[in-house]
Structures are given as structure tokens and as C-alpha cells.
Structure 1
Amino acid sequence: MEENIANQFLDQLFSDHLQQFLNGIDATLKEKKLELDALNTKNNAMIDGSDENLVHAMQACDNAIMQGHDARDDYQQLLRNWHQLQQHHQHHLQQIENLMKQEETAKLKACYLTWIQRVEGISKEMINGLQVASLPDVLDAFTSLLTINQQLQSTSCQHLLKYVHQTISYWHKILRKILQREFDDVLTKIQWPFLSVQMTSPSLDNQIDCKQQLEKLFSYLLRLQLPEAMSENQSSSSLQPYKPLLAPIDLLVRPLRKRFRFHFYGKKQTNSIEKPEWYFTQVSNWIRDHSQYLQYTIQPILNQNNFENVDARIEFIRGLVVVLVEKVTSDIPLLLSDDYCFSHIIDELLLFENELHNKYYYPIELPSCIAALEDDSVIDKWISLEWKNGKEKINEIISSATAWRPKYKDVAQDCDTSLKFPEATENILTMLILMKERYSKLSSTSYMMQFVRMQLSLLDELYARFVELTKNGPKQLLDQDYSYILNGVNHLIGVLKKWSDQWTIYLQFFLDLYAKEVKLRKGDVKSLEDDSNESEVLKENNDAVEGTIFDGIIGLYNILLDEMLNKLGLVVMQIIKKNAKPYCKQKWLSMQSIRGATLQLSPSACDMLVSVRESLQYYQTFLDSSIFLKFWQRLAQEINEHLYQELVVSNLFNENGAKQLEYDVNKNLFILFREYTHRPDNFFKELKEACVLLNLNSGSVMLLQEILQSATMDLDDNDISASKARASAVAALNEIGIHRMELLTALQIIQLRIDWPKL
């Protein structure tokens, strides 16, 4: 029953719509079926057309493949034909290549022969020129040979170049021999070399003729000058190879070289290793005797021949220096076992070097006699002697009766700066400076470093002697020797600082050494092996190194200076404390005032103030100004500390006692130091501020006590009110001139007044 009712309800509700829906589905199915049939028909037609196109494409591919095979066959046939042709013509190509090589070789041989023919032709010209005695033509031909040599420098034909060199050397020897003979004749006529005593002098006409001949032959010899690459080193000494002398200059030196070897070699009496000054003096005299002639006669000839950059006198000296180096090099190994002779030859050599550089302006880069000393065994011997002599000299200087007297005693007492140092210090510094001047001429930085270390060792030795001399302090209150030792140590420190700081004199020298020493200490030796780059390496090291090589020893001497000042201050303060004892112990709390009388110095303070004044006056006279400045400042601070602790803190005061103390300090003690400063009170802060507090009026004291007690109730309290109280107390003290004293200390000082009410 219920089912029927439901069906009826659904039929009534959906019957019309459902039929329409079903009809729509049928129509859609029919439409889609028609579209599918049309699509199938179209696809079948396309498939039929594609089969025909595919057949045509396959036929075209077959045709292309056939054509490719034909082309390949044609290519292979052409390749076979080319190989056959190549084999056929290979023989002809090889013949052509051989002909081209033969042609190139023929050209090279022709060029080679041309150069040889040119050289041989020039040689023939020179032979002909010599036969007719035409030296100018021969020299022109020789110049042509030199030009050919220059042109062939880039060639790879070493045999040709060797042949040219041999030809040049051959003709050079012949021409030099010819010119040398004529040149020697002219030198004989002008009586060269010029000795100190000439028997006769040539006539004026002869002089003019000789001068003309000299100019001509000198010019000829200049044209014989060989290139440096072909020149042989003229010295067999230990010197490095150097630029050879000009040929005419060498001929000017030759008779002197011969004379030198005659007198100073072999068994001649003049050849004495104990008398090196003989040959140094002889060479010096030769330079002196020939300088004017070289300057006014030879130099113009050089200028006329385009050798303006050559100094005739310097070239002449250079030739003689080489002679000396050979002599020193041969003698010095024999002197290593003889300290006196070894020292003597070094002294004479250095004197000669100074004369060359200072009198004749001989350049330092040219050969030097110092080079004969730059050997490990020689340097070791030299350093050991410098150390031995330096140590003995220090002992001798310090043991002298006048060691601790000022070197410039006539002006020392009237001078307030730099002339109060003792004779011992000045002599030791002079010794060190002379030592530095000797070894600074060495070209090797490593050798110079060894000398600097030796000097530092001597300064260490001197430091030990100073410590021994001053370990017990001054022998008495007024000890002159102790004062001058103080001056000496201070002067020594000043000089060492100058050696470290003055760029133009010592800084670059010692800074370079220090930089290299630091580099070596770190083990980085590789970067210093190349001497050509040494200056650049040192410059880089200087930027990375702080301080100087003398900083360590300067620090030691500064410590010594400070200890000596402390010992001096102790001795002076012992006397002052002894004399101040009655003054500190007098009854300040019961001191009476005399009505109508002005304040006067306390009698018990007289001895103390007299000892202070005498000490200041004495040490101002004998101490250097910079040392005395430190002395009186330390003395003032120690007196301030002593009087504050032993007088102020240890006593009670009434009003009269406080006024008397203030008068004694302000009007008497401060006066003694006013000669040295406008504000002596700056060095007596505690004593001055204590006097201010002890002499306040009673009203101010009551208020100040309240403020100080409030501020010092709980010093560890950091709350806002406590901080404000302390700030207020500090401000109150500042208003009355108290800036250094602590709050609690100020309160304690105020409480030393027995006549003030206590809170």
C-alpha cells in the first residue's frame, strides 16, 4: 500500500522531465555515431594517399644511394690516380727541394765568406798601413774591425765570431806594442813618473813637442780600447772582476806598478810586513805628485776624445789601488798570528782609505783596499782584536785617576746641559764611534753585523762595570764621583738613542742591520742569499721590524740609571729624615702664639731645610740638567711623603700649631723648590692639602664634617642617595682646593685638630 503511494507520487513529480531527458540522450547518441562514421571515412582516404607518397620517396632514396656509390667509386679512382701521380713526381720534388737548400747554403756561405773577406781585407789594409807607417789608417781599420764585432754580436756563427775576436786580439797586441813603445818614449822625455826629486827638467820647446806627441799617442791608445767582453781582468787579486783601465791610463800606471813591485816584494829591505805605512805612504805620494798633471793635461785629452765621463785622476788612483790590494792580499795571511802587525796594517789601510775618499773623492763603488780584508779568517781575527782591545781600553779608562771627572771641567760647573759627563764615558763612546767608523766601510752586511754584536757585548761589559761601581750607592751625601757616573750613564743612553733615532747618521745603518738580524733569527735566510736583492729585502724587513738593535742595551742602562737615582735619593733622605726628626716630634697640639708677633720659621725645621737646600744646590752643580730634574722631583715627593706620614698623620694640632705648619711649608719649604718650578706645591699634594684642612675656620669645618661623615657612613653603598652624598662631599672638598685626598682621609685629617668640636 505504501509502495503504490510512493510510485504515484514520483510519477506525478518526474514523469514529464524524465521523458525529455531520455529523448535527449538518444539524439546525442545518434549525432556522435554520425561524426564517428565521417571520421573513419576520412582516415581511410588519407591512408590510401600516404602509401603512394611512400613508394615515391623510397624510389628516390634508392636512386640517391646508387648515385652515392658511383661518386665513391669516382673518388677512389681519383685518389688512386693522385697517388700514382705523386709517386711519379716525388723524385722531381726532392730534387727541387735539394736545389733550394743548396741555394740557401750557398748564400750563407757567400755571406760567411763575405764577412771573412771583409776581415781579411781589413787585415791587409792594416798590414799595408804598417808598412808605410800610417798609424791613423791602421787605427781606422782597427775601428772597422770593432764595428764588425759589434754587428756580429747577435749571430749564431760562433766560429766566425771567434775568428773576429782572435783577429782583433792579434792586431790589438801588435798595435798596442807599437804605440806602447812610442808612448813610453814620450813618458821618458817628460820624465814620467814624477818623483819627489827630479834631477833635471825638459826644455820648454821639448815640453811642447812632447805634449803634442803625448796627445796624439794618447788618442791613438783610446781608439784601441777593447769592449769589456773581450777585456781580460787586469788583476790577479781577490777582487771581483771589474772594468779594466783605459789603455793609456794603464800605461801611465805601469811604471809605478813596476817600481812598487821592485821595492815592496821579494827580499828588499823596504818589503817589511811590520811597516805597511811605507807602501801606503808611497802610493799616497804618487797620487799627490801626479794629480795636477792628470787634471790639467790628461783630462782635456780625454774630453777631446769623447771620454768626458772618465776622470783621469780617479782612473789613475784605481790602477794604484789594485796594486795595493794585491800587496795586502799577499801579506795579510802572514799577519794573522801577530796581533800588533795585524792591527797596524788595518789602521794604515783605513787611514789610506779615508784619504782617498775625503781628499780625492774616490767613489766607494770602485775597487777598495777594504776588499782585501773581507775574508772569514781576517774578519774573525779583526773582531777578536777589537773585542780584546775594547775590553782592555774600558778597564784602562775606568781605572784612570780622572775617570769620573768631567772631560770639560773648565766649563762643566757653569754649564747646565751636556758637558757634565765624565771623561770615562766620553772616551768609551769615542772608542765605540771610531770602531764603528772602521767596520762601516765593509761592503758585507753580515760582517758588519758581527761587529755590531761585538759592540753590544762591550756595552754589556761596561754595564757590568757600572753595576759593580754603584752597587753600594754614594759613599757620602755629597759624592762627586757618583754624580758624574750618573751623568755618564745618562749621556751614554742619550748617544745610543741618537744612534737608533737619527736617520741621517745612524738609523738607516743600524736599522738595516737589525732587520737582517731579526730575519736571520727567524731562520729566513733564503731571502737574503741574493746580494743583488739585499737592499730591497732589508727595506721590506725594516717595515716589519719594530724597535732598533740598541733597544735591549738602552733598557738595561735605563734600569741602572733608575736604580742609581733611587740609591742617591735614599742617602739624601737619610740625612733629611735625621734632621727632620725634632721638627716632626715637637708638640703641635700645645703650641702657643706670641701676641702681636708675626709667624717665623720653626727653629726645629732649620736643620732639615738646610740639608734640603744644600743637597739641591750641590747636585744642581754636579748633575746633568736632565738627571737633576728627575732628582729634585723624586726628592720633593719623598719629603712630602715623609712629612705627611711622620708629622701630619702622627700628631695632633691646635690652631697655632696648624698655622705654624702652614707657614713653614708654604713660606719656607716651597721656596727651596721655586727655583726649579713655578708650582712647587704640585709635588707636595698631600702636605699642602693637609695644611688647608687643618687651617679651615670653625664654621666651615662643622659643615664639612657633617658632609664627610654623611658621605663616609657606608662607602660600599651604591644607591642613589649615597652616591649623591659622596658627590656632594667631593664637590665641597674641591671648593676649598682639595682634589687628591680621599673622603675618609680628609675626615681623619680634620679630626687631628683638638680644638674643633667633634660630631
Structure 2
Amino acid sequence: MTEHLSAEDATRLVDFVNDKIQSLEDLLSLDTLLNSLQEQQDLQRQQLREAEEILKSATKASNEHAEAVRKEAEAFSKHQADIDRRLLIVTQSEHSDEAVRKFEDSIARLQRLDVSQGYLELLNSIDHLNKDVIKKMKTSPHDALRSYAQLRSIEISISSGQERVEGATPHLLDYVKGVSETLRGLVYGEYIGKLQNVLDKMKWPMKELPSEPLIDEWMRWCDLLLEFQEPDLINDTVEAHLKDCSVLPILLPLEVMAQPLELRFKYHFSGDRPTNRLDKAFSHLIHELMNFDNELKLSWSYPSNPAQESAWKGLTWEILVKENWFSEWLQVEKNFALARYQNIIDAEDGGEIDYDGVAPTATKPTKAALRVNDLLENITELYRPLSSFSQKLRFLIDIQITIFDLFHERLHSGLEAYLAMTSAIGRTVQGSSTGQPNIEGVSGLERLCRIFGSAEYLEKKMQDWGDDVFFLELWYELQDRVTRHSHTGKPVAGVMSVSEIAARTSSSVANNNKDHLEDGAEGALFDETAAAYRQLRMRSESIIQSTIASSVQTSLRPYYQVSTWASLRSSSDESDSPTTPSLDLVQTLRLLTADLSFLSRTLAVAPRRRVANHILLAIQTYIWDSILMRHSFSTFGAAQLSTDVANICDTVDAAIGVKAGETYSARTIQKLQDGLFLLGLKIKPENADSSGTGDNTVRNLGLWEAEKRLFANNESARSVLAELGINTLTEAEARSVLERRVEVRS
């Protein structure tokens, strides 16, 4: 059977048989396999017959379609020939191309004729509407406005369609605009005149409301003007949103009503009238505008959503930003503020200390400092309502901090002048000149306290301002802007860079970044200025301390020359103690009383006590080094020195207002007190004594016992000092003190 098959088919047949018949069971099922193969062969024959039928049908359809196309082509050719024949007859042309060109020209002329007819109809409508408005403008204003609105609608339609037709009708548009503008001027003049007549009857602007008929007539003409302006409002509003959402047209009724107000303003402030004074701020206008804007926002909720970009930003914005008057207004305000500042400085009583302007317990500033602060607070209220961060910062830096700097420079110059006058050369020149200011004693202290009090007062005011909500918001906004612009290099506020702002406000501004802010970095707008005032305050306080200390040490020179400490004896027995200070100490006590009493009225408790501490420590050093360590003392001499020191402490306490029973000064010079206690040990002690230093009761050792144990060794000396309640002296200092007793030295 395989002889009639190809080699490939024979191979496939052998593989099929080997695959299907591999065992005896497969051979027994050979009939089943043959039946299956027969069924498959029948199925394939059926599919072949169906494919042949489909091919026959497709071939027939293709032939029919080809025949139809051929017939349509023949019909089209006949139809085209007929058209060409007719076109030649109509155009009287010999060639078809020439006939087509003539036919297209005829169609184009017909189209132009149609367009011209449309133009004529449109021009006729425009002319009709124009005449209708003029005719009804006075007798029937509402009907006239309807015709005017139709004319404006035609104008807007033609204008908006110019872009689509690529400017094909410029002459028509110009004509329509000309008619519309002429008509608008006529209607505008008529209706404006009517409203102006009503306003004249109302005596506008008036303080009292007019009669109800006049109000009704006013409302009627306002409605007509708004209706007349409506097409312009719609068109201009759309254009404003496309360009600048803040530019909106002015309502005609308001424009008419604002004219007399504008005339009054020009009359008062644009000529040589007494009201046009350059020494008064044109700021009242801006301030009133800010109040008006705030009233609209708070009381009338206008605009309803100020956060929207299209929201109206207020009259203040219109003048300061849109019309770009902020720089001029700022300069006027700065000039006015500087003029007021100069008046404060030039006032005769400006340098006087004001004892009533602050709390009784506070440091007293000068009247000039109080007035400068009032000036700066008024400036804050002036620009507080501004909505622009940049404008607020400009006011702060250009005016307020500038005035702070000017006053600081004045105080600093005053301090330098005092130092120059108190120098050796300055005193020589002063002594040889007449009319020089008195810088001695309380007069000199008063000059220093003016500087100190003014610097401290304004420094505290700057701290208070830093905690004010207004300045806190400015500070946080500044930090936020610095963070957002740190990588862009853009100005933070207006044209001011970060470094410029930091130099005038706070150095922490330039160091701020996002991480720094999240760490809770602190700062304030007045950091740099407050630091300058703080440095001036601390320096002036130091000079006050050194001045009084120097005066006290000079007054102690006669006391230094006393040489009778070892020979002083009591008039009765050893137990008696002197009750009055030495005569050579009286000048020092008077000086302390005068200087510290003045400071008590001028300075607060804290600086007053700091000055007293410095003076007491200077006295302690002077007496310890120049008197205690340079002389020998008898028992009565030591007691006299203790009495003198006690009188100094009592004088200081009384002068600075220490409460009764409070040993403030004695505790300050505790080392000197302990040394005098040790120096004054009696030769024959009592059995018990509650005297001594501190609040502890100690056994009153005798001089010889104390001397024996002090000089025995360091451990014994420490034991003696602890027993006596002395903890401010070293063993060596205690031995040096005890050696000043004449009994021990002998």
C-alpha cells in the first residue's frame, strides 16, 4: 500500500501505526481506529466541498461588482461630457478650463453681492437703532436703553468675530464703533446731567437724608445709569479676568457722586490753602481708607471671600499699589516722623528725668525717651491695618528702627561726651573754661542716669513689642518667607534681601532655615536694636558704678591718713565700744547718702542694688588693703573701725531703701565683716556671746586662745574659723588679720 505514497507520507504512516499499535490490545482495537479515521476523512471532505462553494460565490460576486463599476464609470463619463457641453454653451467658451474659471468668477460675484446685501441690512439696523435711541432718550429712557443695548451687542459681536474672520471687516467695525461711541456720549451726557440735577436738589454731599421723592428720583437715575453701563461692565469684567482680575470699571453713579468730593479734596490739598500744610501728614487719607476697607470687611463682609484672586483688595491697595503711591506716602510719613522726633529732641525739658511717667518702682527715663516711645507707638497704629507684609516691614525698618537708631546715637554721644569731660584732659579743659556743664557729684550722676534710664526703658519697650501679636505675626511671616526663598535668591520683602533685613532686625533671620525653625529658634524683629540699647545700658551702668566708687575712694583719703588706730583707748574700760563714726569718715557718709539717695529715686531695685554692691565691694577692698592691712589696732581701735564700717552699711541700706532689720550691705561685704570680727576679739572674753556673723550663736573666744590655735597649724586654724562662724577667710588671711592687733604683734 505504501508503494503509492510519497516517502514523507509513508514515513508519517509508519510513525502513526507504530504510535497507535504498540501492543496486542491495540491490534484488537484496530477496527475502532479505522472507523475513527474514516470519520475524520468524511469530515475533511465535507469541509472541502463547503470551501469550494464559498469560493464559487465570492468569484461570482466579484464579477458582478466589476461589471457594476464599469457601468458606473461609463455613466459618469457620459454625465461629465454632458456637463462640459452645457458649461461651454453657458459660458460661450471653447475650452472646459476657461469655462470653469468664468463660472467660478460668477459665483464669487454672487457671494460678494450677498455679503454686500448683508452689510446694507446691518447698516440699516444700526442706523435704525441709533435714531431710535436718540428719539426715545428723553421721553422713554428705558426703551432707549434697550435699543442702545442691541447696538452695543452688535458692536461686541462684530468685534469678537474679527479674530475668526482674520480682520476682514475693519471698516464696518470702525463705523459701528464710531456710531456707538457717539451715541454713548449723548446718552451718557443726558443721564449724567439728570442725576447731577437730582444731586444738586439733594445738596450733595449732605449730612442729613433728603426727602423720599428725591431719594426715589435718585434711585431711578442710578438704575438707568447702571443699565446703560451694563454692556460695558460685562465686557470689561471678562477682559479684566483675562488680564488683571483687580482692574474693574467704576460704576457711573459713584463716579458722578465722587466728583464734588474730588473737587473739595483738590481745593484743600492741591493749592495754597491753609489746609495744604506740608508739616501735617497726607496720612489721614490713607488711614481713613484703611479704616474704610476694614469696615467693609468686618461689618459688611465685602468681599465675601478675600482669599480669592479675583477679590477686590480695597481702596488702600488701589492707591498704594495700583497707583504706586506707597513710596511717596512712606517718605512723607518718614519726614513727618523725623520732624516730630527732632521737636522732641529740641524740647527744653526733653533731657529731664520723668519721675511720674512710669511706675514708682521702675527706672526713670527722660521725658524725651517717653515721647519717642509714644511717637513710635503712634507710627505702629498708623501702619498696623496694612495688608501688605512688605509695606509693614518697610515702615518698621525705614521709620521705627531708624528713629530707634537715631536716639541710640544721641544717647551714645552723650555718654562719650561725659567720658571726655571726666577724663584728665577734659577736667583740665573744664577747669579753665567757663560755662561748662557741672559733672561733679549728683549732677554727673544725673547725666549718666538719663542715659541709663532711657536705654533701659526703650530696651524693655522693644521686648514688649516683640511679644505683641502684630509684631509676632510679622516675625513668623518673615521666617516663613526666608525659608521659602532660601534657595531661590529672590527678595524676601519687596526689593529687600535677607541680609539687608537681618542687619536691621535680627541676625537670626539670616541663619534661619527649615530645620532651624523646627528646632524652635527664638528671635524678634528688634533683636539688633535692642542689643545696641542693652550694650549702652550695661556700659552706662558700669560707668555709674565706677564713678561713685571712684568718688567714694577719693573721699576716703583723709580716712586713709588716720594713724592712731593702735593708740585709741576707751575712756572707761575695754568692754566699751565707740558709738559714733570717725570724723574723717563723715565726708564719705555724706557722699554715699547723696549719691545713693538720688539713685534710689531714679533706678529700679535691681540696678540700684547692683550699683550698691559694686560700691560696697570697692569700699571693702579699699579698707581691707589700705587700712586693715596697713595699720596696727588696739581693741578700741578695732572697735572704732567696726563702728565706721557699720555706719557705712547703715548709710547704704538707708539710701537704697533696704527694709529695717535686713542686713543687706553687711552681707555684701561679709569678708570685711568677718575680718573685723576677728580683729576685735577681746583679751578677756565673756563666758557666752551671741554675737558673730550669720545667724548661728558661737562661743566668743579670747584673743590669746584664738591666736594660739590659729598659728598652731592649718587644721587648728580651720577649726577656730568654723567655731567662730567665719567662712570667707582663708587660714593665711585670718592670721594676717590677727597680726594687726598690737597685743599680738608685741
Which bin holds the TM-score, normalised by the shorter protein?
Answer: 0.5 to 0.7
Deviations 1:390-424 (A, max 9, x none): 77876775566544224x57x57x97356942243
Q: Contact 1:349–1:369 at 8 Å: present in 2 too?
A: no
Of the candidates 659, 667, 683, which is equivalent to residue 682 of structure 1? Answer: 667
Equivalent-residue separation in structure 1 for 2:215 and 2:378 (angstroms): 46
The one-letter amino acid paired with 1:454 is D
The one-letter amino acid paired with 1:548 is A
Deviation at 1:428, TM superposition (A): 3.9
Which has the larger displacement, 80-89 or 388-397? 80-89
Q: Secondary structure at the match of 1:478?
A: helix
Partner of 2:441: 477
Deviations 1:586-643 (A, max 9, x none): 4444432232655312313222222111111233344566654543343333333433
Aligned pairs for 1:289-300 (under 5 A) are none
Counterparts in 2 of 1:72 and 1:487: CA distance versus 1, 3 Å: farther
Of the candidates 440, 453, 461, which is equivalent to residue 397 of structure 2? Answer: 453
Equivalent-residue separation in structure 2 for 1:611 and 1:82 (angstroms): 137
Check if 1:404 corresponds to 2:409: no
Check if 1:495 corresponds to 2:498: no
Counterparts in 2 of 1:465 and 1:518: CA distance versus 1, 3 Å: farther
Equivalent-residue separation in structure 2 for 1:222 and 1:197 (angstroms): 23
Of the candidates 363, 369, 385, which is equivalent to residue 425 of structure 1? Answer: 369
Counterparts in 2 of 1:136 and 1:549: CA distance versus 1, 3 Å: same
The one-letter amino acid paired with 1:354 is H
Equivalent-residue separation in structure 2 for 1:667 and 1:643 (angstroms): 14
TM-score where L is the length of structure 2: 0.56
Check if 1:599 corresponds to 2:612: no
Counterparts in 2 of 1:521 and 1:626: CA distance versus 1, 3 Å: farther
Check if 1:354 corresponds to 2:287: yes
Counterparts in 2 of 1:215 and 1:477: CA distance versus 1, 3 Å: same
Check if 1:241 corresponds to 2:246: yes
Counterparts in 2 of 1:526 and 1:382: CA distance versus 1, 3 Å: closer
The one-letter amino acid paired with 2:555 is N
Of the candidates 592, 597, 619, which is equivalent to residue 612 of structure 1? Answer: 592
Deviations 1:237-258 (A, max 9, x none): x99835656665455446766x
Deviation at 1:644, TM superposition (A): 3.6
Deviation at 1:576, TM superposition (A): 1.1
Equivalent-residue separation in structure 1 for 2:147 and 2:441 (angstroms): 93
Q: Contact 1:187–1:193 at 8 Å: present in 2 too?
A: no
Equivalent-residue separation in structure 2 for 1:609 and 1:273 (angstroms): 68
Q: Percent identity?
A: 14
Counterparts in 2 of 1:52 and 1:418: CA distance versus 1, 3 Å: same
Q: CA RMSD in A?
A: 6.5
Counterparts in 2 of 1:239 and 1:48: CA distance versus 1, 3 Å: closer
Check if 1:194 corresponds to 2:198: no
The one-letter amino acid paired with 1:676 is V
Counterparts in 2 of 1:422 and 1:664: CA distance versus 1, 3 Å: same
Deviation at 1:482, TM superposition (A): 3.2
Partner of 1:551: 527
Equivalent-residue separation in structure 1 for 2:314 and 2:63 (angstroms): 73
Check if 1:210 corresponds to 2:214: yes
Deviations 1:110-154 (A, max 9, x none): xxxxxxxxxx9xxx9xx99x89999999999999xxxxxxxxxxx
Counterparts in 2 of 1:277 and 1:627: CA distance versus 1, 3 Å: farther
Report how many aligned residue pairs link the two structures: 566
Counterparts in 2 of 1:374 and 1:274: CA distance versus 1, 3 Å: farther
- In terms of fraction of residues, the more helix-rich structure is 1
Deviations 1:172-231 (A, max 9, x none): x99999899578646625635625899xx99x9xx4543444455656777888597645
Equivalent-residue separation in structure 2 for 1:363 and 1:497 (angstroms): 34
Equivalent-residue separation in structure 2 for 1:51 and 1:735 (angstroms): 130
Counterparts in 2 of 1:690 and 1:502: CA distance versus 1, 3 Å: farther
Counterparts in 2 of 1:546 and 1:224: CA distance versus 1, 3 Å: farther
Equivalent-residue separation in structure 2 for 1:582 and 1:641 (angstroms): 17
Equivalent-residue separation in structure 1 for 2:42 and 2:713 (angstroms): 123
Check if 1:568 corresponds to 2:568: no
Q: Contact 1:489–1:557 at 8 Å: present in 2 too?
A: yes
Deviations 1:241-300 (A, max 9, x none): 35656665455446766x67xx95xxxxx598555986x9xxxxxxxxxxxxxxxxxxxx
Equivalent-residue separation in structure 1 for 2:372 and 2:513 (angstroms): 32
Equivalent-residue separation in structure 2 for 1:669 and 1:639 (angstroms): 10
Equivalent-residue separation in structure 2 for 1:175 and 1:380 (angstroms): 38
Equivalent-residue separation in structure 2 for 1:81 and 1:352 (angstroms): 98
Equivalent-residue separation in structure 2 for 1:582 and 1:690 (angstroms): 22
Aligned pairs for 1:101-112 (under 5 A) are none
Equivalent-residue separation in structure 2 for 1:61 and 1:706 (angstroms): 143
Deviation at 1:693, TM superposition (A): 3.8
The one-letter amino acid paired with 2:571 is I
Partner of 2:639: 659
Partner of 1:578: 554
Q: Contact 1:588–1:652 at 8 Å: present in 2 too?
A: yes
Equivalent-residue separation in structure 2 for 1:617 and 1:753 (angstroms): 36
The one-letter amino acid paired with 1:464 is E
Structure 2's unaligned 5+ residue stretches are 1-20, 66-124, 150-162, 165-178, 298-311, 423-438, 496-511, 682-691, 693-698
Q: Contact 1:654–1:754 at 8 Å: present in 2 too?
A: yes
TM-score where L is the length of structure 1: 0.55
Deviations 1:2-30 (A, max 9, x none): xxxxxxxxxxxxxxxxxxxxxxxxxxxxx
Deviation at 1:522, TM superposition (A): 7.6
Q: Contact 2:293–2:315 at 8 Å: present in 1 too?
A: no
Counterparts in 2 of 1:458 and 1:142: CA distance versus 1, 3 Å: same
The one-letter amino acid paired with 1:691 is L
Deviation at 1:511, TM superposition (A): 5.5
Counterparts in 2 of 1:362 and 1:564: CA distance versus 1, 3 Å: same
Counterparts in 2 of 1:51 and 1:196: CA distance versus 1, 3 Å: closer
